[in-house]
Structure 1
Amino acid sequence: MRMFLAGRRALVTGSTSGIGLAIARALHAEGAEIVLNGFGDSDEIARLRQEMGGAPYSGADLTNVSGVEEMMETAGAVDIVVNNAGMQHVSPVENFPVEKWDAIIALNLSSAFHTARLAVPHMKEKGWGRIVNTASAHSKAASPFKTAYVAAKHGLAGLTKTLALELAEHGVTANCISPGYVWTPLVENQIPDTMKSRGMTREEVMNDVLLAGQPTKKFVQPEEVAALAVFLCRDEAQNITGANYSMDGGWTAK
């Protein structure tokens, strides 16, 4: 049985761990040739490349244009781009470090623009393409002390809509997935420090801090995000474009 993404080449940024890795694995399972990007232990990255059929890898820094261009040169012509790489910093606006603002906007928003502008010519020529952007519940709702992250994710939602309109007649779709808190090592590793700083139990941190905004009181799993990303790459999703899918346990329904 032929896998439906056989012959398609997919670049997933931030794919050496967490959500991006889950998406890369899910796309690979459907036959896509994967291009990995991200930071991490070199031995682990080598293992991931082998797991995905000797996938090309770029460790380029996507907070600058030259890094994105370097990654895209490594990737070559791609049919699917998943803009997943991101970072966060929490601080009151008056104390928010300017360099953190610049880095978050560059990675969470500008890098998605640059991957799109470099990938779209091939997609147009081929008459088929998929752009999937990992946004956040913060693309629809704000939280205090996260000015750069919220601004970037709102911007990513707007970028997605604009790409969808521009590419609608070229067989190329652009969509967002907006998760709430996703259970990743990055989130799990925050729990002990929060327990200590707030004098709370592990369960209290999870339910009353991390999941305070998610009515289901359940973390989103990376594989759930990956499953939606895969569906958006199917031919059955060809008329889904410009959408921003919430996967946040009801957070933004309030």
Structure 2
Amino acid sequence: MSNTIAVVTGAGSGIGRAIALALAEQGDTVVVADLDLQAAEKTAAERPDRLFPMTVDVADRAQVDALRDRVTAEVGVANVLVNAAGWDRTDQFLNATTEFAEKVVAINYLGPVHMCSAFLPGMVEAGNGGRVVNLASDAGRVGSAGESIYAGAKGGVIALSKSLAREMARYRINVNCVCPGPTDTPLFQAQAEKLKEALVKAIPFRRLARPEEVAAPVLFFASESASFITGQVISVSGGLTMAG
């Protein structure tokens, strides 16, 4: 059994779900947080002894604070936070409305900001260190046509992770970042067929990542094996991007 209490956002499906299940499999207690409570409950049903479903809109700071209070009261003080919630829709920048841009930034950038702001004080006060793993995207490292606003938000997550790593080091709280490339998730499958085919052809391994393959480095960053690693960014893209 593990003493880890982890909170994973976006855990109702895709990469977040794979991360939550993998953490539970190694004995961690995991809060499965998602905007879609039914999806969170479906994930939690895989390991009801270790997984606790809760709902949250990460773009809403009041809901994030309510989640923190519920987690603390019902499960305990979290010492691992994984920000995996995300959203996007592929389109050209010139077609983007203000409403679309604000939604992308609110979920993909302000979501991690809200979650870190809500949960980090508890880790600091507990005095036992902690781990934060933010899910960004290779779009935030090298850019992505048709995803300019999303790429900007994810680039912000990368910079946020590095800056928080510097601030949190004194408290023995590690902050790292995982950048998935094209991954077989519901969000990817919602893209146009021609775009999906083009992306798969561009990947040297000629296939999409499986969510479990993205979960693997997240588990590493959340573990004691990464105790002296902070402020780092790793891509999981099958060689599509090889950022320095």
Provide TM-score, normalisation by structure 2: 0.89
Q: Which residue of 2 aligns with 1:202?
A: none
Superposition map of 1:105-124 within 5 A: 105-124=105-124
2:204 is equivalent to residue 215 of structure 1 = yes
1:238 aligned to 2:227? Answer: yes
From the CA coordinates, give the structure whose radius of gyration is larger.
Answer: 1
- Give the match for residue 160 of structure 1: 161
Q: How far did residue 15 of structure 1 move?
A: 0.1
State the secondary structure of the residue aligned to 2:122.
Answer: helix
CA distance in 2, matches of 1:25, 1:225: 13
Matches within 5 A, 1:82-121: 82-121=82-121
Instruction: Tell me the SS of whatever aligns to 1:140.
Output: helix
Aligned partners of 2:24 and 2:51 also within 8 Å: no
Match of 1:182 in 2: 183
The corresponding residue for 1:144 is: 145
Instruction: Tell me the secondary structure at the aligned position of residue 57 of structure 1.
Output: strand
Matched to 1:78, the amino acid is A
2:68 paired residue number = 72
Partners of 1:95 and 1:222 in 2: CA distance:
30
Where do 5+ consecutive residues of structure 2 fail to align? none
Structure 1: 5+ residue stretches without partners: 199-204
Q: 1:49 — aligned with what? A: 44
Rounded to whole Å, the distance in 1 between the matches of 2:43 and 2:179 is: 26
Map of 2:59 onto structure 1: 63
Equivalent residue letter for 1:143? S
Distance, in Å, in 2 between the alignment partners of 1:220 and 1:175 is: 20
Separation (CA, whole Å) in 1 of partners of 2:202 and 2:150: 17
Q: Is the 8 A contact 2:27 2:50 kept in 1?
A: no
Q: By how many angstroms is 1:186 displaced?
A: 3.3
- The Cα of 1:13 is off from its aligned counterpart by 0.2
Shift in alpha-carbon separation, 1:213–1:137, aligned structure 2, 3 A? farther
Shift of 1:212: 4.1
- Check whether the contact 1:160–1:174 (CA below 8 A) recurs between aligned residues: yes
Deviation at 1:40, TM superposition (A): 4.0
Deviation at 1:71, TM superposition (A): 2.1
Identity fraction in percent: 30
Instruction: Determine the C-alpha separation between the residues in 2 that align with 1:99 and 1:213.
Output: 31
Gap change, CA 1:45 and 1:179, over 3 Å in 2: closer
Deviation (angstroms), 1:170: 1.4
Query: Which residue number in structure 2 is paired with residue 201 of structure 1?
Result: none
Cα distance in 2, alignment partners of residues 33 and 54 from structure 1: 5
Distance in structure 1 (CA, Å) of the matches to 2:50 and 2:182: 31
How far, CA to CA, are the matches of 1:238 and 1:27 in structure 2?
Answer: 17
SS of aligned partner of 1:90: coil
- Taking the aligned partners of 1:9 and 1:243, their CA distance within structure 2 comes to 22
1:80-133 per-position Cα deviation (integer Å, ceiling 9, x unaligned): 100000000223223201111111111111111111122112222323100001
**TM-score under structure 1 length normalisation:** 0.86
Aligned mates of 1:179, 1:53 — CA distance in 2: 29
Residues 12-33 of structure 1: per-residue CA shift (max 9 Å, x gap): 0000111000000111112211
User: Aligned in 2, Cα 1:214/1:165: closer, same or farther, shift over 3 Å?
Assistant: same
Kindly provide the amino acid, as one letter, of the partner of residue 239 in structure 1: F
